């Protein structure tokens, strides 16, 4: 680009096309580019002042040709007029192309957006569009109106639909999401671009939820669940393709509504948007000015924000030299500056050390007063501590919603019982008489037998100091009498303490993710390999818990064998197999599939069949 500009300037200095032997059309086209006019004007001034005796060009004579120039087709006055005219021309074109050329998210306005009355009146739904200028977006398929499986999600959806239908306004609600959907349409590029076609992708599949003031709503989900897409739709980064959301009464589907929304929100995006050359103090001053804070208060507000996120010592250091945790703290401070009514925090504590993370949690907890906060995170501990309500998304759908205790009791594996034994200062277990671990193993065995006899559970974890048991929810009716008896026999069994609690939020998260993966695997046919104890490898649907093994029918096991598969998240947030139980006989209450389903067409691999978890757990409970 620079070489082309230098070439045109050089050509202009030699007189092209400002001479009588060149067509006027060439001069008009050449004059549309201001550097060419500037070059010609400098040449005219240079020729008029090249000697001490030269007359120069006065302001009065700006419209006249120099007396010694015989080939004069443009004057300084004409150059001035051209420069002023081209300034407005290129300014208008810059505004126009800034609106219609897609940004990094593919968002743009229609080519004829300026012809719409809503653009000039500031009223109505002047919506943005997506796609490149040389692509033809395919039609977006409509989402099926599927009733949620979870009763809490269904109740929330019913409430929001009723309020929307009756136009009820709840003063305690900051954000009302009404069937928000986001679909990236399939496109077929034509003409100047490479020809290709892509299928539509449903990133968010209709969410109905109310988010209250003075509360923190935590949105959880594995990678690709639709969390960040939902945040992007609510903050106007990405336009919605279905439904709507109201933030303090303003619609995210309207350009006018988004203009008002941006004045009352603060955003900490998933990836830091910082300038390496600016310091933390300069960042806060800049964003405080953008938020419209009075100039007299900007300095004190910035200093307070820097103190809260512990960046005072680095306030004058360029952000480009910050660590990842320091950049996240600065992004949190930017999101909270200007006292916004709604704050979006997309994984705000990523990269922070434990001490700083705890401090930022205190800041977020304090920030809940007087505003609504929407938080996304992969830290279950963070969600458990900060959230007033939690929603878990998977595959674009809201799978469950409620408080942390509600979700743990409903979707967790059950209760966690920790039984502790006395230890000495060297960490060795003691019996009731204070002697070392000679009698500890019999004590632990008696406790195991006690749990096995009354609740039919085995320890999930054990060492010299404690035993950990997972008690299913189905045993809840037995727990009162069971723990009363266990407490009465503490001395007899050598127990120092007994703790009972709900399973972790991580267990809930994994259960929801597994169920979503199982649904997706059934629809898409996604399989993963499982190597069982015999050494054989079978293909199983991703997320399946109990799987039957084809080809294991024998006289000893007339119904065949099955395994329980254990899952965990890998570094990318996807489910992967962490292990499996030994092979056990399939219970008689399980209906076996037909024999020809173990080898689907087009594959030679053996595919295990999914067994309903409820059938297995109910069978265990009955026994």
Q: What is the pLDDT of residue 315?
A: 92
Q: What is the pLDDT of residue 284?
A: 95
Whether residue 550 contacts residue 560, with contact meaning beta carbons closer than 8 Å, is answered with: yes
Q: What is the pLDDT of residue 336?
A: 92
Task: State pLDDT tens for residues 459-503.
Answer: 888 887 888 888 888 888 888 898 898 888 888 888 888 888 888
362 vs 366: CA distance, rounded Å: 6
- Per-residue pLDDT averaged across 441-448, rounded? 82
Phi, psi dihedrals of residue 173, rounded to the nearest 5° = -95, 125
- Per-residue pLDDT averaged across 65-74, rounded? 76
pTM: 0.71
> Residue 192 above 70 pLDDT?
no
Tokens of 43: 């040449």
Confidence of residue 386 (pLDDT cuts 50, 70, 90): very high
Task: State pLDDT tens for residues 97-123.
Answer: 887 776 655 556 777 777 877 667 656
More confident residue, 424 or 386: 386
Q: What is the pLDDT of residue 436?
A: 46
Three-state DSSP state, 308: helix
Instruction: Name 64's Cβ contacts closer than 8 Å, sequence gap at least 6.
Output: 75
Q: What is the pLDDT of residue 313?
A: 92
Confidence of residue 302 (pLDDT cuts 50, 70, 90): very high
525 vs 507: CA distance, rounded Å: 25
- Per-residue pLDDT averaged across 555-565, rounded? 89
Would strands 216-220 and 459-462 be described as parallel, antiparallel, or unpaired?
unpaired
Confidence of residue 504 (pLDDT cuts 50, 70, 90): confident
Q: What is the pLDDT of residue 145?
A: 67
Provide the phi-psi class of 344: left if phi over 0, else alpha when psi is between -120 and 50, else beta.
beta
What average pLDDT is seen over the chain?
Answer: 82
Angle at 337 between CA 335 and CA 341, to 5 degrees: 75
Q: What is the pLDDT of residue 277?
A: 93
Closest to 184 (Cα-Cα) out of 170, 165, 205, 215 = 205
More confident residue, 30 or 614: 30
Helices 324-336 and 295-308: crossing angle in degrees, nearest 10, is: 140
173 vs 183: CA distance, rounded Å: 27
Lowest mean pLDDT across 374-383, 579-588, 600-609: 600-609
> Residue 251 above 50 pLDDT?
yes
Tokens of 319: 């952000």
Confidence of residue 439 (pLDDT cuts 50, 70, 90): very low
Closest to 505 (Cα-Cα) out of 405, 394, 400 = 405
Lowest mean pLDDT across 283-287, 397-401, 502-506: 502-506
> Residue 426 above 60 pLDDT?
no
Helices 34-48 and 24-31: crossing angle in degrees, nearest 10, is: 110
More confident residue, 283 or 123: 283
Q: What is the pLDDT of residue 567?
A: 81
Q: What is the pLDDT of residue 55?
A: 78
- Per-residue pLDDT averaged across 284-294, rounded? 91
Would strands 216-220 and 250-251 be described as parallel, antiparallel, or unpaired?
unpaired
Q: What is the pLDDT of residue 438?
A: 40
Bridge partners, residue 182, by sequence? 204
Task: State pLDDT tens for residues 304-342.
Answer: 999 988 899 999 999 999 988 899 999 999 999 988 999
115 vs 110: CA distance, rounded Å: 10
């Amino acid at each position: 680009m620079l070489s082309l500009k230098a070439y045109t300037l050089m050509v202009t200095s030699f007189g092209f096309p400002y001479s009588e032997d060149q067509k006027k059309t060439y001069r008009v086209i050449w004059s549309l580019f201001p550097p060419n006019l500037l070059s010609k004007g400098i040449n005219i001034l240079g020729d008029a002042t090249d000697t001490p005796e030269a007359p120069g060009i006065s302001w009065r004579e700006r419209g006249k040709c120099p007396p010694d120039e015989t080939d004069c087709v443009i004057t300084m006055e004409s150059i001035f007029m051209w420069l002023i005219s081209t300034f407005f021309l290129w300014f208008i074109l810059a505004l126009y192309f800034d609106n219609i050329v897609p940004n990094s998210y593919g968002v743009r306005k229609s080519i004829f957006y300026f012809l719409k009355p809503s653009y000039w009146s500031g009223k109505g739904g002047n919506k943005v569009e997506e796609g490149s200028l040389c692509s033809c977006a395919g039609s977006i398929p409509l989402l099926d109106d599927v009733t949620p499986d979870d009763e809490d999600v269904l109740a929330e959806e019913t409430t929001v639909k009723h309020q929307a239908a009756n136009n009820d306004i709840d003063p305690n609600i900051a954000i009302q999401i009404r069937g928000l959907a986001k679909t990236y349409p399939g496109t077929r590029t034509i003409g100047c671009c490479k020809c290709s076609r892509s299928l539509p992708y449903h990133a968010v599949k209709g969410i109905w939820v109310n988010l209250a003031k003075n509360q923190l709503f935590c949105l959880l989900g594995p990678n690709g669940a639709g969390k960040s897409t939902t945040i992007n739709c609510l903050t106007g980064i990405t336009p919605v393709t279905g439904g709507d959301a109201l933030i303090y009464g303003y619609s995210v589907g309207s350009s006018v509504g988004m203009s008002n929304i941006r004045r009352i929100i603060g955003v900490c995006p998933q990836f830091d948007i910082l300038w390496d050359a600016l310091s933390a103090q300069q960042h806060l001053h800049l964003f405080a000015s953008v938020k419209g804070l009075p100039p007299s208060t900007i300095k004190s507000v910035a200093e307070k924000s820097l103190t809260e996120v512990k960046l005072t010592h680095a306030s004058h250091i360029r952000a480009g030299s910050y660590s990842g945790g320091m950049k996240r703290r600065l992004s949190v401070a930017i999101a909270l500056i200007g006292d916004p009514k709604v704050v979006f925090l997309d994984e705000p504590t990523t990269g922070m050390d434990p001490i700083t993370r705890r401090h930022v949690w205190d800041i977020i907890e304090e920030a809940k007063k007087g505003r609504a906060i929407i938080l996304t995170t992969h830290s279950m501990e963070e969600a458990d501590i900060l959230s007033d309500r939690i929603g878990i998304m998977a595959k674009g759908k809201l799978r469950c919603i409620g408080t942390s205790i509600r979700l743990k009791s409903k979707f967790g594996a059950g209760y966690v019982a920790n039984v502790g034994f006395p230890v000495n200062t060297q960490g060795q277990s003691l019996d009731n008489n204070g002697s070392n671990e000679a009698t500890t193993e019999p004590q632990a065995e008696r406790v195991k037998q006690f749990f096995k006899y009354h609740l039919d559970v085995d320890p999930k974890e054990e060492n010299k100091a404690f035993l950990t048991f997972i008690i299913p929810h189905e045993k809840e009716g037995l727990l009162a009498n069971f723990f009363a008896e266990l407490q009465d026999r503490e001395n007899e069994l050598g127990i120092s303490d007994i703790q009972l609690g709900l399973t972790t939020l991580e267990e809930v998260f994994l259960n929801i993710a597994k169920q979503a993966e199982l649904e997706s695997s059934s629809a898409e046919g996604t399989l993963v390999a499982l190597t069982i104890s015999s050494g054989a490898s079978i293909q199983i649907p991703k997320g399946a818990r109990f799987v039957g093994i084809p080809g294991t029918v024998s006289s000893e096991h007339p119904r065949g064998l099955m395994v329980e598969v254990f899952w965990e998240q890998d570094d990318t947030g996807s489910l992967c197999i962490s292990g499996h139980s030994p092979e056990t006989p399939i219970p008689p209450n399980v209906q076996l599939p037909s024999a020809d389903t173990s080898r689907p067409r087009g594959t030679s691999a053996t595919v295990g069949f999914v067994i309903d978890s409820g059938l297995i757990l109910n069978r265990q409970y009955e026994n």
